[in-house]
Amino acid sequence: MRLNSLYSELQWLPRAPEDFAARLKAAIGSSETDVGRALQRLANYALDLNRLSKLASAIDKAKSGGRSLQPLQPFRLAVLSNSTIDMIVPAMVATAARHGIALEVIQPSYDQVAQEALAPDSRVNSSQPDAVLFALDYRALPLKLSPGDAEAASATVEGGIAYLQTLRDNIKSNTHALCVFQNFVPPAEALFGSLDRAVKGTLRSLIGEINRRLADFVTESGDVLLDVNALAETVGLAEWHDTQLWNLAKFPFAVEFIPLYADHVARTLAAVRGKSRKVLILDLDNTIWGGIIGDDGLEGIQIAQGDPVGEAHLSLQRFALELRQRGVVLAVSSKNDEGIAREPFQKHPEMLLKLDHIAVFQANWEDKATNIRAIAEELSLGLDAMVLVDDNPAERGLVRELLPQVAVPELPDDPSWYARTLAAAGYFEAVTIAQEDLKRAGYYQDNARRASLRSSAGGVEAYLASLEMTITFQPFDATGRSRIVQLINKSNQYNLTTRRYTEPQVIAAETDPEVFTLQVRLADTFGDSGMISAIICRLSQPGEWEIDTWLMSCRVLGRRVEHMVLREILEHARANGIRRLTGTYLPTERNALVKDHYAKLGFVKTGEDDSGASRWELRVEDAWPAAAPMKVVSHGFARPKETLSV
């Protein structure tokens, strides 16, 4: 077994069927509303380069024929590269469909990096891309070797970074694009040997230094890093660099890895769009422990240190726990009697996972699709936020068939590779760390506790009062920015318009004098929910604010947060001489929840079109919505205040 075939063959995805071409034809023939979904399903197989190209031309054809690719989300990516990417571009288009994106690639002529970045009217700058990928290879950098000369080495590194910064600054001044930088893969060939790492000015050490500087630079500037170096290290430098293909046609790396590279590009764009998964659902028997708890009993299952099979399963538990610490919610779905299934969590001393770590525990004899639906419902998250890890191929097949939105990785027979396979799939790719992420798993558990209090506390108002909530309003600012961008790109359900904005666009909103923004935080007796709502209003005409964006985390549904938000908006509207608020509801597959949002808040409907989109209006002077029992803190605006409303 070649260990890197896990990566080069995308082994977490099911094998492509023999009749792939016929299925592709059928997908293209499907009805207007299904074609996007049908193409996405086909993209979810492990596709080789040939099949990726076929899928890409089908996608291009559907797009140029004016067909809607819903629910795939449009994304325009410009790629700046000093190498031949003609075979990579179709792979990216096809792979993007796997991640829910209808990708359009702007590909300027070969090796026109500086020209494209610097000229305001270049193809890249004039196409207004959503993002620009700097797909540069180390051979694009002005690298002068100076082994042993630290001063010259440092000048070379500065020169390389300055070059990248210049490219970026020019793209930024000409477009609103997000910049995605891939880092640099050193060649396999050493000059001295091991010394190359230690001595300044060798190629290995120069590239290492530039990669480190680039990572810092990207973190500070709010751009995005694509760690191609890690990818190459993972599969091996000798496999990655195909020097013959570079000499023949300037291919940047071995064609064998194009599907893998494309998947990493696509998962990064998906993360930018908030499409990363949020929940890891674990099967129990032969997945997180060896053996079957119902048959083998507490003493019989394999989970101990010192037992190789037990350690294999423990490494999956460890990985799940690490994911939970960075904000991924854990759930269990198992065909078992609940009491028996819970026993190892409570009593087995070697179990790393405890009941406290599991937000929803479903152990019963229902089918897994039903259970996963129940988990999604309980967490108020979509099925497309779920990943199921299950050793049983039949269960995996059933869930893929009935719930194609759920990601279900193929697993090898040997549990030693479970954790690696799950990690390789990259379901939880993130482009930023928000403080909220680190606490998120806890929020969902707090919610379960709130729900049990609600059933006992008699009367919703009394319940809400008992929560001792504090709501905090601020305009958008630098501190809240990464979470605001995340909310804008992730919220699907409580989202009136589902407009997605990149970080540069959010920064623009912060400073635009005609834009009024709100970030909203909520805390209660159980804990701090963090930032849970974001609002953008734009001055649409004198005296009128159009509510461009109104979204809220579903964690705080039923707390009357939206009423308090409206009160806050009205207060600022009055202070700014605004007489009318207008709003729009744009229906999507996921936001039926807020169809009546504006009606419930007292807005008057002024229009509705065939798609179900509706327009609403509220006269500021007539609007005095009742307050919910919570303490209001408002700061960062022109006039700070702190009041208690009852």
Q: Point out which span in 247-255, 368-376, 553-561, 582-590 binds other proteins (CB under 8 A).
A: 247-255
**C-alpha 580: how far from its chain's center?**
36
Q: Point out which span in 81-89, 92-100, 302-310, 333-341 binds other proteins (CB under 8 A).
A: 81-89
Q: Give the separation between CA 443 and CA 88, rounded to whole angstroms.
A: 41
The minimum distance between CB 188 and other proteins, in angstroms, equals 17
> 620: which DSSP letter?
G
Interface with other proteins, residue 402, by CB under 8 A: no
The minimum distance between CB 256 and other proteins, in angstroms, equals 9
Q: Point out which span in 190-198, 239-247, 296-304, 629-637 binds other proteins (CB under 8 A).
A: 239-247
Q: Give the separation between CA 105 and CA 501, rounded to whole angstroms.
A: 19
Q: Point out which span in 249-257, 296-304, 379-387, 573-581 binds other proteins (CB under 8 A).
A: 249-257
Burial label for 425, CB within 10 Å (0-12, 13-18, 19+), is buried
End-to-end CA gap in the chain: 67
Interface with other proteins, residue 248, by CB under 8 A: yes
> 523: which DSSP letter?
E
Q: Which lies closer to other proteins via its Cβ, residue 249 or residue 451?
A: 249
The minimum distance between CB 91 and other proteins, in angstroms, equals 12
**DSSP string of 434-453, one letter each residue:** -HHHHHHHHHHHHHHHHHHH
Q: Point out which span in 116-124, 212-220, 245-253, 478-486 binds other proteins (CB under 8 A).
A: 245-253
What is the radius of gyration, based on Cα positions, of the chain? 26
Strands lying side by side in the sheet with 101-106: 101-106, 73-81, 131-135, 178-182, 224-226
Q: Give the separation between CA 401 and CA 396, rounded to whole angstroms.
A: 9
Q: What φ, ψ does residue 545 adopt, rounded to 5°?
A: -105, 125
Interface with other proteins, residue 255, by CB under 8 A: yes
Q: Point out which span in 88-96, 241-249, 369-377, 386-394 binds other proteins (CB under 8 A).
A: 241-249
Per-residue tokens: 254: 């071995």
Interface with other proteins, residue 244, by CB under 8 A: yes
The minimum distance between CB 244 and other proteins, in angstroms, equals 5
The candidate with the shortest Cα–Cα distance to 159, out of 171, 141, 179, is: 141
The minimum distance between CB 235 and other proteins, in angstroms, equals 18
Interface with other proteins, residue 245, by CB under 8 A: yes
Using CB under 8 A, which of 16, 28, 87, 633 touches other proteins?
Answer: 87
Q: Which lies closer to other proteins via its Cβ, residue 85 or residue 288?
A: 85
The candidate with the shortest Cα–Cα distance to 485, out of 417, 525, 536, 544, is: 536
Q: Which lies closer to other proteins via its Cβ, residue 108 or residue 274?
A: 108
Q: Which lies closer to other proteins via its Cβ, residue 247 or residue 305?
A: 247
Interface with other proteins, residue 195, by CB under 8 A: no
* Cβ pair 373, 388 in contact under 8 A: no
Helix (H, G, I), strand (E, B) or coil at 280: strand
* Cβ pair 494, 523 in contact under 8 A: no
**Residues numbered 32-71 forming contacts with other proteins, rule: CB under 8 A:** 50
Q: Point out which span in 37-45, 240-248, 391-399, 453-461 binds other proteins (CB under 8 A).
A: 240-248
Q: Give the separation between CA 483 and CA 437, rounded to whole angstroms.
A: 9
Q: Which lies closer to other proteins via its Cβ, residue 243 or residue 525?
A: 243
Q: What φ, ψ does residue 294 adopt, rounded to 5°?
A: -65, -30
Per-residue tokens: 100: 């829910």
Using CB under 8 A, which of 70, 84, 234, 470 touches other proteins?
Answer: 84
The minimum distance between CB 261 and other proteins, in angstroms, equals 16
Residue numbers at the binding site for other proteins (CB under 8 A): 50, 84, 86-87, 244-245, 247-249, 251, 255
